[in-house]
Structure 1
Amino acid sequence: MQVENKTALITGGANGIGFACATELLRNGAAHVAILDLATSPGVESALKLNAEFGEGRGIFIVCDVTKAREFEAAFAKTTDEFGGLDIVINNAGIVNESMWELMIDVNLKAVVRGTILGLQHLGKDRGGKGGVIVNIASVAGLDPFDWFPVYAAAKHGVVGLSRSFGATYHYEKTGVRVIAICPSFTETRFSADGGNDFGPFVDRGLVINKLMQQPLQKPEVVGKALVEIVQRGESGSVWISENSEPVCEVFIPNRFSLMASSKMRK
């Protein structure tokens, strides 16, 4: 699907990866973007920046706490009312705070579940929609163990599993909605700036801060460009990595049953 003349909704869209995604979608011809974020975010300024660069009315800011169901539902409704429809949903909002792990699960996993379900309800052909694309922002921590942030990793593993499952042929044939996950590596965001304050009680803070400082960081714009690419060509249920500023690439996650069959054949 090309992004020209399409309307997108992006959670956590006021800065970082979310704002980069909004910018790249508009740069590639999207008609409108709605950026959802907290009232304390720079959402108003971010929408003004988008409209200054791409034209008045191209972007709007909607105050939304994704952990609150009614606010989330209202944000979807406002987007469709404002722009006459919706084509692309980007579930990007996330936090890193192992000490507040319940909130992290609420934002990083439960809200992605809700955002995916709302996306399917608004976009699904079986619900009167036109079809479309849902991209869930996971992390490389959703593919491998992440000993520094175990609960964060658990949530991101859940996002990958959710996206692969809702992206399965069974759902796509009914809804016409592709569901895809993208897993960025270390990226310049608020997490990379102040992540040292968010460790839980089970890691050596000094050691981890030292290791984090050694990690190469990519710009949010790299992830934004990668997102546009997978919106255009990614298959439903696919998982992609955006890492070290390299071209985005698809991850092959083997099916458990195929592995079992291969093992039996080798015996």
Structure 2
Amino acid sequence: MELKPGMSALVTGGASGIGKALCIAFAQKGLFVTVVDFSEQNGREVTSLVQKENRKFHGDLGVPSAIFVKCDVSIEGDLAAAFAKHVDTYGGLDICINCAGIANKTLVYYDTSDGTRTWRHAINVNFVAVIDGTRIASQIMRSRKKPGVIINIGSAAGLYPMFADPIYTGTKGGVVMFTRSLAPLKRHGVRVNVLCPEFVQTNMAEQINQKIVHATGGFLKMEEVVNGAFELIKDESKAGACLWITKRRGMEYWPSAEEQRKYLLNYTKSKRTVTKNVFPSIQTPEFYEKIVVHTLSHNFRNATRLDRVRLRLPIEPQSALVKIIYAGVNASDVNFSSGRYFSGSAKETAARLPFDAGFEVIHSITCL
């Protein structure tokens, strides 16, 4: 997804740390931002910073370029109201960042309370709210029939155990596996990815034993985390992806290809080895991309562009849905895109725009 002025993003935990950095980074691209946080003072300060950055892109809009919504993300009604306020203000939702998170300061095996103010609350903020935010955001994006991206902020502590806070590391591990399991949403125009940075210099990280931080190479720069989030947003191939960022190795996707092979099932059929995912999910896509002629020109590349459109369902009886992986362009296709195959005047031909590019099918190899 290319970030453009006028798009909109909602960021939970946007008043500080990674959430704040992403709010400002979005504003520097001209995006409208809803800052969602429990801290009203910090949230309004970030909102003012976002509005200041946005003045470089927008004049008098009639609506603020950024709004603040005070919200306890662990309360379902509060979170739903925050999303509703965003959609009511900006008409849709392009990007959602689920960033709100807290530590659990009391080790769970020493905690004699019912957990309402400690471990249970941490689970509700760090994991349940991420599920709820993802659920609400994906439903908004699908209902608007526009592609969207959701980034869930995990942690390196979700990839390996952090003995000082089992609840935190457990919730972040849940965020990682939850997000990776949402890869099939890409078929419906929504990509959900998870960002797992190691130690970043935030108020929460400063409470950690500094010997542990130094042992891992020190704090990451906030810029590195923002760049990681932008990579997950911009790279259309990433869905259900987990980006791990460390001071020692930089950015890397987890699990590696070698690790993935460990949970793929191999079986032999007709003397061939076939690799399948243990949990295949074959669904009819909700959207697809097609080549559309927008300008009459002999230059096929300049005449056309890829448009994302909704698939017309149901598929007609006795028909097959075929995904075209590669299509060559020949002279007939160029003549078609330049309008030579249409009768009538040049003005009448131009009035047909836009129209689907026409490809001559010489051979088609289809796998069922």
Displacement of 1:101: 1.3
Does residue 174 of structure 2 align to residue 172 of structure 1? no
Unaligned runs of 5+ in 1: 196-207
Identity of aligned residues (%): 33
Does residue 134 of structure 2 align to residue 123 of structure 1? no
Displacement of 1:255: 5.4
Match of 2:92 in 1: 85
Match of 2:300 in 1: none
Further displaced range: 134-143 or 244-253 = 244-253
Match of residue 153, structure 1, among 143, 156, 169: 169
Displacement of 1:87: 0.6
The question of whether the paired residues in 2 share the 8 Å contact of 1:21 and 1:228 is answered with: no
Unaligned runs of 5+ in 2: 59-63, 107-117, 268-272, 274-368
The question of whether the paired residues in 2 share the 8 Å contact of 1:109 and 1:156 is answered with: yes
Does residue 160 of structure 2 align to residue 144 of structure 1? yes
Match of residue 224, structure 1, among 226, 230, 240: 226
TM-score, with length taken from structure 1? 0.84
The question of whether the paired residues in 2 share the 8 Å contact of 1:89 and 1:135 is answered with: yes
Bigger relative contact order (CA 8 A; separation at least 6): 1
Match of 1:43 in 2: 43
Query: Higher helix proportion, which one?
Result: 1
Match of 1:73 in 2: 80
SS at match of 2:264: helix
- 1:51 and 1:186 map into 2 onto residues whose CA distance is 29
Displacement of 1:176: 1.0
Alignment of 1:2-13 (within 5 A): 2-5=2-5, 6-13=7-14
SS at match of 1:248: strand
The question of whether the paired residues in 2 share the 8 Å contact of 1:22 and 1:35 is answered with: yes
Match of residue 104, structure 1, among 122, 131, 136: 122
Match of 1:189 in 2: 202
Match of 1:26 in 2: 27
Match of 2:71 in 1: 64
Match of 1:257 in 2: 263
Query: Over alpha carbons, which structure has the higher Rg?
Result: 2
Match of 1:113 in 2: 131
Match of 2:346 in 1: none
SS at match of 1:134: strand
Q: 1:131 is aligned with what amino acid? A: P
Q: 2:43 is aligned with what amino acid? A: G
Could you say if the C-alpha distance between residues 45 and 30 of structure 1 is closer, same or farther in structure 2, counting changes exceeding 3 Å? same
Displacement of 1:246: 6.4
Count matched residues. Answer: 245
Could you say if the C-alpha distance between residues 241 and 72 of structure 1 is closer, same or farther in structure 2, counting changes exceeding 3 Å? same
Match of 1:198 in 2: none
- 1:257 and 1:244 map into 2 onto residues whose CA distance is 28
The question of whether the paired residues in 2 share the 8 Å contact of 1:180 and 1:237 is answered with: yes
- 1:51 and 1:152 map into 2 onto residues whose CA distance is 33
Could you say if the C-alpha distance between residues 250 and 212 of structure 1 is closer, same or farther in structure 2, counting changes exceeding 3 Å? closer
Does residue 151 of structure 2 align to residue 135 of structure 1? yes
Q: 1:142 is aligned with what amino acid? A: G
Aligned-pair Cα RMSD in Å: 2.3
Question: 1:160-199: CA deviations, max 9, x gaps?
Answer: 01101112x3x321x210010010110011112234xxxx
The question of whether the paired residues in 2 share the 8 Å contact of 1:219 and 1:245 is answered with: no
